[in-house]
Structure 1
Amino acid sequence: MTEPKPVESWLTDMDGVLVHEERAITGASEFIAALESSGRKFLVLTNNSIFTPRDLRARLLATGIDIPETAIWTSALATAQFLDDQRPGGTAYVIGEAGLTTALHEVGYVLTERDPDYVVLGETRTYSFEAITKAIRLISDGARFIATNPDPTGPSTEGPLPATGSVAALITRATGVAPYFVGKPNPLMMRSALNQIEAHSETTVMIGDRMDTDIISGLEAGLRTILVLSGSTGGHEVERFPYRPTRVVESIADVVPLVSALS
């Protein structure tokens, strides 16, 4: 067994790791401060495609966590980058909000309902029957089907909400066409994040609160992984999975001393 290389960069999930709903998780701001003082490159990742990085920075700042806009990587940004790589200057019919439409505009995509190259499904709090029907018809007519992430539900103060994965399943049932999901657990999300900060998988750690998205995508991308038990996956559930994170800790507060220890 070779000794692991020193950690030079960090990727971390946002919800369940740094924040829960609109509250910072204890140790989150100290973790970001430790990264910044160490000079290590880092990105905060989220499958949420509703918000732009500027929106998310404001949301985090309201909880007391100060993260630069450039250090936030969303499934919307990863989706836009993927489409720009696949078909530069293409066209898309989009179901989503500002985070997704802005990202696609910024890579030069034209948003249209007329014979688009892609139907792109993202997160929104206002899924409409009319928009879903339009997507079904366009896909049936030959548009390629892309979705930002496979999450079936999203959190809210009132309880879970149907999310991208659930609506994608509805469209798939109606068309017989499954989407290509860009966000976690697709390791493409990790690789795009690594490229964004010019980092290497062998010297990067991924922190997440879900075994079935954060940890598996980090593992498949070749990263070391840390599971925090402050979010979705409970400690009693870890052994049910056929793969394991590199470390399991209670919360992000336990990762703060590791920033210097693993460097």
Structure 2
Amino acid sequence: MERVKGLLIDLDGTLYHGKNRIDGADDLIRKLRERKIPYLFVTNNSSRTPEQVAEHLGGMGIPASPEEVCTSSLAAASYIAHESPGAKVAILGEEGLRSALLDAGLEPTEEIPQYVVQGIDRSFNYQSLAKAVQWIRTGAVSVLTNPDLLLPSDTGLTPGAGSLGAAIEAASGVKPIVIGKPSSILMKYATDRLGISPSDAIVLGDNMRTDIAAGANAGCKTVLVMTGITTDENMEEHMKAAGVAPDYVCRDLYEAADLLCG
């Protein structure tokens, strides 16, 4: 492989499962640091701040700093701030989203917002839905941090940001601007932070429909690692659904480290 100019690394399913580190995750990051290969941890998770993500990784023995974390919340905040600096935003989300929007100089409001920004929101209820629909139907731009329909939890799969977004879209009749994977917006935000072109970046992930599709949509090279969602049994199905194929396939993170780091 040509020398890697920048690596965009997925988290859940690629480096860990919940609170359990996947074998080779710490070795991969150590080698990237030793070889001074630029990288970012890129996640659709909108609920955590970069500090919380880095702490979670560090707790599993995976070296990480907040500056190395790129979330869908940060990308959403950057997108809106670029389009409408200082815009008024209605926030349907948790700490990671609220923090990112405030840090970008955007103004939270529940009075005639210019944007309705929605991520995972475990306090979401009928009143939240009604307000969001009213705001959007009267002109606010709908922004969805990520389209994940389901999230893993200690009790099994639970509704994700995409499930809440589907209710808002159905009632408002308006498709949201999607920021997270498989959208290319998150990938472009990450490569801009690294100061490289998407064509010079490699996306490493376990999910054909999100990680690999997002990389392909942005013009990045892609490496599928068989550590999570994609398996030998479902790979063809996921490739067909995603409409793309990975540039490389690795059985585990040790093989990925050899491919990426030489």
TM-score (norm 2): 0.95
Asked if residue 161 in structure 1 is aligned to residue 158 in structure 2, the reply is: yes
Q: CA deviation at 1:216?
A: 1.1
Match of 2:187 among 178, 185, 190: 190
* In 1: Cα distance, 2:227 partner to 2:123 partner: 29
Asked if residue 43 in structure 1 is aligned to residue 44 in structure 2, the reply is: no
Native 8 Å contact 1:215 1:227 kept in 2: yes
**SS across alignment from 2:224:** strand
User: What does 1:139-154 correspond to in 2, within 5 Å?
Assistant: 139-154=136-151
Deviation per CA, 1:110-135, whole angstroms, max 9, x where unpaired?
Answer: 10000000111111233222222211
Specify the code of the residue in structure 2 equivalent to 1:91: K
In the alignment, what sits opposite 2:258? 257
Native 8 Å contact 1:218 1:224 kept in 2: yes
In the alignment, what sits opposite 2:62? 65
* In 1: Cα distance, 2:133 partner to 2:42 partner: 30
In the alignment, what sits opposite 1:55? 52
Native 8 Å contact 1:5 1:202 kept in 2: no
User: What does 1:99-118 correspond to in 2, within 5 Å?
Assistant: 99-118=96-115
Give the length in aligned residue pairs.
258
Asked if residue 230 in structure 1 is aligned to residue 227 in structure 2, the reply is: yes
Asked if residue 124 in structure 1 is aligned to residue 107 in structure 2, the reply is: no
In the alignment, what sits opposite 2:14? 17
**SS across alignment from 2:156:** coil
**SS across alignment from 2:203:** strand
Moved more, 226-235 or 44-53: 226-235
Gaps of 5+ in 2: none
Q: CA deviation at 1:18?
A: 0.5
User: Compared with structure 1, are the counterparts of its residues 198 and 128 closer, same or farther at alpha carbon in structure 2 (3 Å cutoff)?
Assistant: same
Specify the code of the residue in structure 2 equivalent to 1:109: L
**SS across alignment from 2:54:** helix
TM-score (norm 1): 0.94
Specify the code of the residue in structure 1 equivalent to 2:84: R
Specify the code of the residue in structure 2 equivalent to 1:199: I
Match of 1:31 among 8, 14, 28: 28
Q: Which aligned segments of 4 or more residues in structure 1 are displaced greater than 3 angstroms?
A: none
Q: CA deviation at 1:239?
A: 2.3
Query: Equivalent pairs: percent with the same residue?
Result: 34
**SS across alignment from 2:46:** coil
User: What does 1:168-179 correspond to in 2, within 5 Å?
Assistant: 168-179=165-176
Deviation per CA, 1:203-251, whole angstroms, max 9, x where unpaired?
Answer: 3211011111110111122211111111112222222324210111122
Deviation per CA, 1:132-162, whole angstroms, max 9, x where unpaired?
Answer: 2211121122211111011111110111111
Q: CA deviation at 1:62?
A: 1.0
Match of 2:131 among 130, 134, 149: 134
Q: CA deviation at 1:201?
A: 2.6
Specify the code of the residue in structure 2 equivalent to 1:20: H
Superposed CA RMSD in Å reads: 1.3
* In 1: Cα distance, 2:45 partner to 2:25 partner: 19
Q: CA deviation at 1:96?
A: 0.4
